[in-house]
């Protein structure tokens, strides 16, 4: 896998159901830019166990998510797709990075604060150390760019600091990665509460998120119930978070400009807005759901792709880990 293209790395956790926020904030961009970069995409199951998981369900969800990423358009001829735990160097490098990362830097991570608040009975050291595993994922592949939603920006800044610190103290080893965050879709909000990010951990709330496997009926119902306001004006006003969120979703699927969308909806009401947003989402997700339903039945094909992906990833990971380990004086 040697090209002159910049290398992209990104990951997604196999917890809960992949939702519209994951798709519009990250996966859709991975898919659309596959020709421009050399791509490495990873289903990060070792990250998932930083919170308690049912082992059987975790395993199933891991393969389901791999099938879903292929259904979304990740092309194994253009991208390496693999499961994190199949390449042990992720956790090995995470240990080296843990040994050079100040506790203070980890304490500042807003995701640790959020997740530990939401799960007060399960605050384990792995959750605290999560960002080092994420830095290892990125640095292991000497990745130039990391396409993510806005919520991951702080983690990527930490990965950058860690790369700079390692290179300074042990000699030039890692590429300092840049986040790649889209203007539209970087932060899709919950439909039930547009002041909160759409998240897998709130998927127990029936109208919070749209899963990529939701049926058209469910999508219509959820969007109909989406929180808006009483102003009745359809415009990209950030402070009116509900309408803004629906318009953003519409924009991501239709690829129109904000001006075009505002003029399309001039004089129309929220009922029409919701109807058209639902149509755009249903049509956008239809090919993905159809392809997923086929792929999930083709387990041999899926496993073959993941084996090849892990072998490709392993080669790069072994080389980088060996280099880092030796630089630190480990034999």
Task: Enumerate the active-site residues.
Answer: 115, 197, 200
Question: Of the two residues 238 and 300, which places its CB atom closer to ligand TYM in the complex?
Answer: 238
Other Cβ atoms less than 10 A from the Cβ of 106: the count is 16
> Which residue, among 281, 294, 275, 280, has the nearest Cα to 214 in the 3D structure?
281
Burial class (CB in 10 A: 0-12, 13-18, 19+), 61: buried
Q: How far is the CB of 122 from ligand TYM (least distance, A)?
A: 16
Question: Of the two residues 156 and 306, which places its CB atom closer to ligand TYM in the complex?
Answer: 156
- How does strand 38-43 pair with strand 7-12? parallel
Which pair of tokens denotes residue 191? 């439909």
Q: How far is the CB of 178 from ligand TYM (least distance, A)?
A: 12
Comparing every residue's Cβ against ligand TYM, the nearest one is 25
The residues near 261 (Cβ < 8 Å, ≥ 6 apart) are 236, 247, 250, 251, 254
Q: How far is the CB of 138 from ligand TYM (least distance, A)?
A: 5
Q: What angle do CA 47, 292, 39 make, to 5 degrees?
A: 55
The CA distance from 2 to 203, in Å, is 40
The CA distance from 132 to 129, in Å, is 6
Where does this chain bind ligand TYM (CB under 6 A)? 9-13, 21-22, 25-26, 44, 47, 134, 137-138, 146, 148-149, 151-152, 155, 186-188, 197-199
Question: Of the two residues 191 and 273, which places its CB atom closer to ligand TYM in the complex?
Answer: 191
DSSP 331: -
Question: Of the two residues 149 and 284, which places its CB atom closer to ligand TYM in the complex?
Answer: 149
Question: Of the two residues 201 and 301, which places its CB atom closer to ligand TYM in the complex?
Answer: 201
What are the φ and ψ backbone dihedral angles of 112, each rounded to 5 degrees?
-65, -45
The CA distance from 212 to 10, in Å, is 19
Contact between residue 228 and residue 246 where contact means Cβ atoms under 8 Å apart:
yes
Q: How far is the CB of 304 from ligand TYM (least distance, A)?
A: 24
Q: How far is the CB of 126 from ligand TYM (least distance, A)?
A: 13
């Amino acid at each position: 896998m040697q090209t002159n293209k910049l290398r992209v790395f990104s990951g997604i956790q196999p917890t809960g159901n992949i939702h519209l926020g994951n798709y519009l904030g990250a996966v859709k961009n991975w898919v659309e830019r596959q020709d421009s970069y050399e791509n490495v995409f990873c289903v990060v199951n070792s990250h998932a166990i930083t919170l308690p998981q049912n082992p059987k369900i975790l395993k199933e969800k891991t393969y389901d998510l791999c099938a879903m990423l292929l259904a979304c358009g990740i092309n194994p001829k253009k991208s390496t797709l693999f499961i994190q735990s199949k390449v042990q160097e992720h956790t090995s490098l995470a240990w080296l990075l843990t040994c050079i990362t100040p506790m203070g830097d980890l304490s500042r991570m807003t995701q640790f604060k959020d997740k530990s608040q939401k799960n007060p009975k399960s605050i384990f050291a792995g959750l605290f150390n999560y960002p080092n595993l994420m830095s290892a994922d990125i640095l292991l592949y000497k990745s130039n760019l990391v396409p993510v939603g806005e919520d991951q920006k702080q983690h990527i800044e930490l990965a950058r600091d860690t790369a700079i610190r390692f290179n300074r103290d042990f000699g030039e080893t890692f590429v300092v990665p840049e986040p790649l965050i889209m203007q539209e879709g970087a932060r899709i909000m919950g439909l039930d509460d547009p002041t909160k990010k759409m998240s897998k951990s709130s998927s127990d709330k029936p109208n919070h998120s749209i899963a990529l496997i939701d049926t058209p009926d469910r999508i219509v119902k959820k969007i109909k119930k989406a929180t808006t306001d009483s102003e009745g004006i359809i415009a990209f006003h950030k402070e009116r978070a509900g309408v803004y969120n629906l318009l953003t979703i519409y924009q991501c699927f239709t690829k129109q400009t904000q001006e075009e969308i505002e003029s399309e909806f001039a004089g129309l009401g929220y009922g029409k807005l919701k109807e058209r947003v639902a149509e755009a989402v249903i049509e956008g997700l239809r090919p993905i759901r159809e392809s997923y339903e086929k792929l999930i039945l083709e387990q041999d094909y899926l496993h073959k792709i993941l084996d090849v992906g892990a072998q490709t990833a392993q080669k790069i990971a072994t080389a980088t880990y060996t280099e880092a380990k030796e630089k630190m004086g480990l034999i």
